[in-house]
Amino acid sequence: MALDYVSTSKKILDAVGGAGNVASATNCMTRMRLVLNDESKANDDAVKAIKGVKSVIKQGGQYQVVIGNEVSNLMKEFNKLGNFSEDGGAKPAKAEGNPVQRLFGFVAGCLTPLLPAMLGTGMAKVVLTLLTTLNVMSSTGPTYIILYSMADSFFYFLPVMLGWSIAKKTGHSVPLYMVIGAALVYPDFISLLGGGVETAAYGTFLGQNCTYLFGFLPVIGASYTSSVLPMLLMAPVMGVVEDWADRVSPNVLKAFLKPLLFLLVCTPIVVVVLGPLGSVLGQVLSMITTVMYGTVPWLTVGVLSALMPFIVMTGMHYALIPLFTNNIATLGYDVVVLVTMFCSNLCQGGASLGVAVKTKDMETKSEGIACGISAIVAGVTEPAMYGINMRFMKPMIGAIAGAGVSGLLAGITGVKGYTMGGSPSIMSLITFIGGNDALGPFHSVIWGAVCAVVGLAISFGVTLILFKDEAPAAEVNTDAIAAGHAAMAGEEHVKQVSAAPLDIASPMTGKLVPMKDVPDEVFASGALGEGIAILPTDGKVIAPCDGVVAQTMDTRHAIGIVADNGVEILIHVGLDTVQLHGTPFKYHVKADQEVKKGDLLLTADLDAVTKAGKELYTPVIITNSDDYTEITPVDGAEITAGQKLMTVK
């Protein structure tokens, strides 16, 4: 029975204490999941009495209002009543996995939202590089300057962008975090660190030029444009400081005192300690590199090429620029920056293209192609590095392997760069032309091309071997495509309830558990409908009958099917698995897609679900049970996917 979503939303909001009491609001397959500032203000009995509400559950810091299949439509109206968000004022989900996985997950979580802008500006640089290389456009003309300003703006202001994404990721104040990032790239601050302010006092600290904050705190001269490390290092600090400032600020003064305290504490930390940390580490790396190159030049090129992604990731590659300029001035060539970054950048692109070829997910394929071209043609590696290779981790192994081998070959064959021609890319081969030795001016460019082919082949090949697509795209027929177009046009699937009995097959293999024994009040009580649960031993979920995919979730932990005769089936993999944010799950079908009995619907990494502390009980529920007179689960202890699970009459 359809709800009056507008009226029901208003009643629920009033009953839980009003918009001011809702810190965040989201939903899973059947429940509204609210985080309330003060749960004591919510009237549980009043919420339960609202038409359409089946139950209220308080669990894991969430106030869960059980609605059923219509929850997603209800949430659309509910969210219009206040400035609610999925993260809002709620605490972010606890990271799972080992420390390395959590670190990579956090970094990827902060950088992935920036991917659209990163891809767009990166590809713009590719176009501009081609236009200027082919002499179609002058790099000194106003058109180029305007377009390049747009293309370079994202990377120049990367700390600001990171301020936004880190705040969103951690559930803190977006404007305050962005201010810290903006301060690092503010023109006057850059000029001050560069020694361009005549009235400023300058000195040295740890062998670095510096100025002074408050007259005594050394601020090392460093460049923070295009860097990621300072803001990532500041993430936990900013979170602690903001929470502290919120606690100590009286309510009457909080509007201005909290942000003032935050900025006054965080600014010295980032400019005095965490920001310069990358610069200091870079100088140490530069000294080590100088010694290595003087002793074993060919091995140095190979090792640095392999390590370059991590050097760039921390922003420490800027510390190599003085070494590059010194080499060009004294030796007439350079290998430490030009050659190693050339090998590394191409292999980042090769790995990204490997993902594009291997994956069957069209969005990832498109991203992989764009990122690969950006790295190979323009030397813009951030999209490939952060958007693809770090995101999936294994492609980074391919990139490192390819860069290491091609760098080693470049070192052995004596490949050198003679001038800087922008970010090293395949177009940079022309900067390898030169030299006055017996090998001739084209020695480096010829072997550089060979190294490029070797590096691309290895990074691409290793990625093809190691990268495992999270799930192959489902095969769809023309009817399914038509259904998809109908859904995009706003057409709804019309349920035709039939009195004819229907046998529902088991969607999973495992142990059968009566619904009353499921350790979740909502499912056990039958509030969502009758059915039976499965403790699965295999992560594959198949269609239990012919029908249409009626509902999917961003978190991919559950799926709804409407049988051809109108039976509505909900398959909910695990308990409270919405909190895993989709990580262990992958859909093989889309909403409104027609499916046949036995088609693969989704896959679940059962080990990951268990390690995350979630129960594997998988309820299979007939959500429109009231439309039928009898729902009879089969008897037995074990069941195999595809076998008869229940009969609906």
Are 580 and 557 in contact by the 8 Å Cβ rule? The answer is yes
Q: How far apart are CA 384 and CA 356, in angstroms?
A: 11
Q: How far apart are CA 588 and CA 554, in angstroms?
A: 13
Burial level of 235, CB count in 10 A (0-12/13-18/19+)? buried
572 is catalytic: yes
Tokens of 556: 């991919």
Q: Catalytic one among 317, 443, 572, 588?
A: 572
Q: How far apart are CA 270 and CA 635, in angstroms?
A: 64
Tokens of 331: 């030796």
Q: Which DSSP string do the residues of 125-174 spell out, in sequence order?
A: HHHHHHHHHTTSS-TTSHHHHHHHHHHHHHHHTHHHHHHHHHHHHHT--H
Q: How far apart are CA 386 and CA 389, in angstroms?
A: 6
Residue 83, beta-bridge partner list: none
Tokens of 233: 């290092």
Q: How far apart are CA 88 and CA 397, in angstroms?
A: 36
Residue 132's contacts (CB-CB under 8 Å, 6 or more residues apart) are 138, 139, 144
* Angle between helix 254-268 and helix 174-184 axes, rounded to 10 deg: 30
Q: How many CB atoms are located within 10 Å of the residue 18 CB?
A: 12
28 is catalytic: yes
Q: Catalytic one among 28, 266, 343, 371?
A: 28
Q: Which DSSP string do the residues of 422-466 spell out, in sequence order?
A: SS-SGGGGGGG----STT-TTHHHHHHHHHHHHHHHHHHHHHHHH
Of 24, 8, 5, nearest to 63 by C-alpha is 24
Residue 415: strand, helix, or coil = coil
Burial level of 628, CB count in 10 A (0-12/13-18/19+)? buried
Q: Which DSSP string do the residues of 281-332 spell out, in sequence order?
A: HHHHHHHHHHHHHHH-HHHHHHHHHHHHHHHHHHTGGGGGHHHHHHHHHHTS
Q: How far apart are CA 561 and CA 391, in angstroms?
A: 32
Question: 164 phi and psi, to 5 degrees?
Answer: -65, -50
* Angle between helix 338-358 and helix 362-378 axes, rounded to 10 deg: 160
Q: How far apart are CA 115 and CA 154, in angstroms?
A: 11
Q: Give the active site residues.
A: 28, 572
